[in-house]
Amino acid sequence: MTAEERVRDTATVIIGQRVRPGFESEFKAWQEEINVAASHYAGFLGAQIAAPTTVQPDWVVVYRFDSVANVQAWINSATRQAWLDRGQQYLDGPATQQVITGGSRPTDQLVTVVVTHRVAPDNIDAFLDWQNRMRLAECKFEGFRGSELFRPIEGIQDEWTALYRYDNASNLFTWLTSDKRRQLLAEGERFHEFSSRTVDNSFGSWFAFDEKGNEAPPPSDTKTSVAVWVGLYPTVVLLTLALSPLKMPLWLGLLVGNLLSSFAMTFVTMPYYVNRLLRRWLRPPPDVPEARTNLHGIAIVAAATTFWVVVFYLVTRQFWTLP
């Protein structure tokens, strides 16, 4: 089986559950025991629990298995049912559940909305057209980071599942309350039988897909360190040049400079410079040989670093000297 086929076959289960007030700690302990039980089943890849937040009103549990068949075996198992019967005393009403196939390992921190629709067979074409118009509208809003649509899975769920992701809750709220979304919901009134859940950034990154729906493994610690270095050098030098006219003492200059460099690296340098410059090295396509990718990445790192060294040498030694 190829890497692409393994990614396509993976299955993620999202379970939302309201918990009776005062039973939160008992619920969490019970759920952790269920996760241990799940880990003994074939194909188990991982599980996580997230408590409610201002964005995510339910407790959310995410399971990941290597195939739909294995996740179905866990969902329908007598073991899981026995645990569910044992934990009813902690639960406030029935849970909600979605199963999707495909996906990737965590790569970034996002807010994800999971929407499930029941669609009659004779409405599928109209539903797909409506979903496409919804996607085209979503992508024009600030903070949009992608969407995915998943077909029903026989034997597990009858609903279509749509995911869309935004970089933060504020931008998501702008879309959710927009006139354009209200208009599209009115146009899709025949698909009114749906449920949705917002998943906070604790799990948003489980649903990060590349442009082809393939998995992009997270970069190694070595690549991450080199990438940070590539961004840190120009950031620190530029901030040093910008702050030098203030003639602050060393201890204060470093304090202010480090604070500003942290913000610059987080919000500017890494997302808009380093991640774009080194994208194919940090997360290479699965069909490209590793040696070729590494040579290409090293060449880019060397070229970028040389560029900044020359620029800063000329600026600080030939055109200007620090005050």
49 and 154, same domain (yes or no): yes
Q: What is the pLDDT of residue 210?
A: 44
Residue 165 included in any domain: yes
49 and 186, same domain (yes or no): yes
**pLDDT-above-90 percentage for the chain:** 19
The string of pLDDT tens digits covering residues 230-252 is 999 999 999 988 988 888 898 89
Residue where one domain finishes, among candidates 207, 232, 261: 207
> Per DSSP, what are the bridge partners of residue 173?
none
Contact 174, 142 (CB under 8 A): yes
Contacts of 4 (CB under 8 A, 6+ apart): 214, 286
The token pair at 205 is: 């990154």
56 and 176, same domain (yes or no): yes
Residue 295 included in any domain: yes
The string of pLDDT tens digits covering residues 87-110 is 989 988 777 777 777 544 444 456
The string of pLDDT tens digits covering residues 55-71 is 677 898 888 888 878 88
CATH number for position 141:
3.30.70.100
Residue 214 included in any domain: no
Residue where one domain finishes, among candidates 207, 234, 267: 207
Contact 101, 157 (CB under 8 A): no
CA distance 125 to 8: 23
Contact 61, 31 (CB under 8 A): yes
- The alpha carbon torsion through 237, 239, 241, 244 (nearest 10 deg) reads -130
Positive or negative, the CA dihedral 276, 278, 282, 286 is positive
Contacts of 197 (CB under 8 A, 6+ apart): 14, 16, 56, 58, 60, 96, 98, 113, 114, 115
Domain extent for 101? 3-207
194 and 75, same domain (yes or no): yes
Residue 216 included in any domain: no
Q: What is the pLDDT of residue 230?
A: 92
3-state secondary structure (DSSP) of residue 64? strand
38 and 103, same domain (yes or no): yes
